[in-house]
Amino acid sequence: MRFFIISFMLTVCITNHLIAQTSTQDNYKKALKNAEFIANFYKNAATHFPQFVEVEPSQAEATFGRKLMDEALNLANNGNYTAATEKLEEQINRYSQLIDSLADVVWPFIKNKNSSSAYRYFTDYLRGTKYANEAYEKAEDILYRVEGVKYYPVWERSVEIGNGDTAGKPIAMMDGGIFAFAFGSPSTENYNLHLFAVKYDAYGNQRYMIPSSANNNTQQNKNDGIIQLDDNTAVAANTIHGGAKIETINLKTGKNVKQKEPPVSFTGDVVKQTDGKVGFVYESWGTINYFTYDVETNQINNRVILENAPSSPSAIAIDQKGVLYFSINSKDEFWKTEIYKVGQDGKAKLHRLFNNVMANFLIVTSDNDLVVGGKSFKEEMKHSSLSWVARIDHDYEHIVFDNRYSADGTVEVHDIVELSDGSFILVQTVMPFGNVYHTEVMKIGEYGHYVWKTKVENLLEPKIAIYDDDSIALTGSLDEYGESDAAWFAKYILSPN
């Protein structure tokens, strides 16, 4: 009887030990899986939400977390599953606190009527719920509502060709990507420009970079203007071999599918008429000509719209009724901008005169008003300038606003787009006295009042395009050392503030 009791107790002890050992191993395996899972999600957070996670601390935490996991693996290999599990739990707690603090940092910045839902999506994504993919997509909306952040760079990319690299006017594509021509000189012996069709997708992946078949080391090849006709087609005004060429581009492939060589030079702007044809203006021997290009037939129609012109056109626009406008910059003692309107008789007449300014762009708003701008010269400093934007009412033809915006140095607006709420985003270059150029992205209200601005370092010749959701495509020339070092492409999500 005593033997039976001792035998039974020994069996129970051995069984309990085996059960406890199995349970300890199971706890370790579960902890290891959770530790790897949470580490990966924190890494994803650092990748997808860099504005809320410092890069170096993230790397340090990742290194420390990996160290804890390595120590746990060594302990487990020696059979010490309890100590190994404790190491993993330390790592899990550490990352959980980081994710909680990350979510706590984001919370005060969310300005959304459904802020609690947005917060839940964000934290669900970071903590790795089974709805992680859906949560990440919805969490992206938070980036639109970050208080104090004027824009959020979704991605920024540069293309290096050689010397004088820049990117032309972008197309904000309907699939969320960006198309533009990049051009620069690959040779250090000359500055003959080579031309490339470049597309990035919505996530910043380069889909293609196709060189022009006309590229060589003896000619200038560059993009002067571009307009999108539909999802798959754009028409570009390019300079090829020093002469003008109209190229129809397949945006899916980047290839030139049709071309035409008009015997003229472009002003840089391309407009789309109400009948679907594409229009250009140019100056020849003191006359301003307007020609239209029919993509379907590949034919050009040309007519003179202004004789005895003071200079070449600087910008053109077509309003919602099909009326053509263009601007001319000229100088006697001071610079001035004249805006012309083409009447029903096909002839241009002076519409508005602005003194002491130079226009770089002319657009039509959703209300069919005209917006013109560029730079305005300071009277006391003829070589220094303020940025200038003016709006002309379409119905009554009066000036809605005619504003100058100052900066610490000389400043000039290069491009502008209208947002869905009627306000505007403009891009301007600033040359601080004694420093290098940079670009400012600035928001102004529908009546021209200043709202906010923010800086993009080392960017020159900025051009902008707008997506349906008010995010923007931005291109230009990256200039860090007084030279154009790379063509630059970027996509930004804007704050509504």
Burial of 242 (0-12, 13-18, 19+ CB in 10 A): exposed
**Looking at beta carbons, which pairs linking 84-87 to residues 24 or more positions away fall under 8 Å?**
84/28, 84/31, 85/24, 85/27, 85/28, 85/31
- The highest-confidence range among 140-154, 265-279, 324-338, 368-382, by mean pLDDT, is 324-338
Whether the CB-CB separation of 493 and 155 falls below 8 Å is answered with no
Amino acid in the structure at residue 425: I
pLDDT confidence bin for 123, thresholds 50/70/90: low
Whether the CB-CB separation of 358 and 337 falls below 8 Å is answered with yes
The better pLDDT of the pair 31, 418 is held by 418
Looking at 5-19, 250-264, 453-467, which range is the least confident one?
Answer: 5-19
- Residue 146 is classified by DSSP as B
Looking at 93-102, 135-144, 306-315, 334-343, which range is the least confident one?
Answer: 135-144
Domain boundaries defined on the chain: 2-145, 151-494
- Say how far apart CA 168 and CA 144 lie, in whole Å: 27
The better pLDDT of the pair 246, 9 is held by 246
Give 151-494's CATH code, choosing from 2.130.10.10, 3.90.25.10, 1.20.58.340, 1.10.540.10.
2.130.10.10
Helix (H, G, I), strand (E, B) or coil at 38: helix
Whether the CB-CB separation of 110 and 119 falls below 8 Å is answered with yes
Find the mean pLDDT for residues 256-283: 78
- Rounded to two decimals, the pTM is 0.68
Place of tokens 């709006």: 391
Asked whether the predicted pLDDT for residue 475 surpasses 70, the reply is yes
pLDDT of residue 373: 94
Closest to 155 measured CA to CA, from 110, 198, 205:
205
Whether the CB-CB separation of 413 and 361 falls below 8 Å is answered with yes
Cα angle at 85 between 84 and 89, to 5 degrees?
A: 120
Neighbours of 30 (CB within 10 A): 12
- Say how far apart CA 47 and CA 26 lie, in whole Å: 32
- Say how far apart CA 382 and CA 405 lie, in whole Å: 16
pLDDT of residue 286: 85
Asked whether the predicted pLDDT for residue 130 surpasses 70, the reply is no
- The token duo for 424 is 């505007």
- Say how far apart CA 361 and CA 415 lie, in whole Å: 6
Find the mean pLDDT for residues 307-318: 89
- Say how far apart CA 456 and CA 193 lie, in whole Å: 26
User: What is the average pLDDT score of the chain?
Assistant: 76
Find the mean pLDDT for residues 139-164: 63
pLDDT confidence bin for 461, thresholds 50/70/90: confident
pLDDT of residue 19: 40
Give the pLDDT confidence of 175-216 residue by residue, as tens digits. Answer: 889 999 888 877 666 667 788 899 998 888 899 998 876 665
pLDDT of residue 200: 93
Asked whether the predicted pLDDT for residue 109 surpasses 90, the reply is no
Give the pLDDT confidence of 51-65 residue by residue, as tens digits. Answer: 444 444 555 665 666
Looking at 6-10, 180-184, 381-385, 453-457, which range is the least confident one?
Answer: 6-10
Q: Where are the beta strands (DSSP E) in 356-458?
A: 357-364, 370-378, 381-392, 399-405, 410-418, 424-431, 438-444, 450-457
Cα angle at 311 between 306 and 312, to 5 degrees?
A: 80
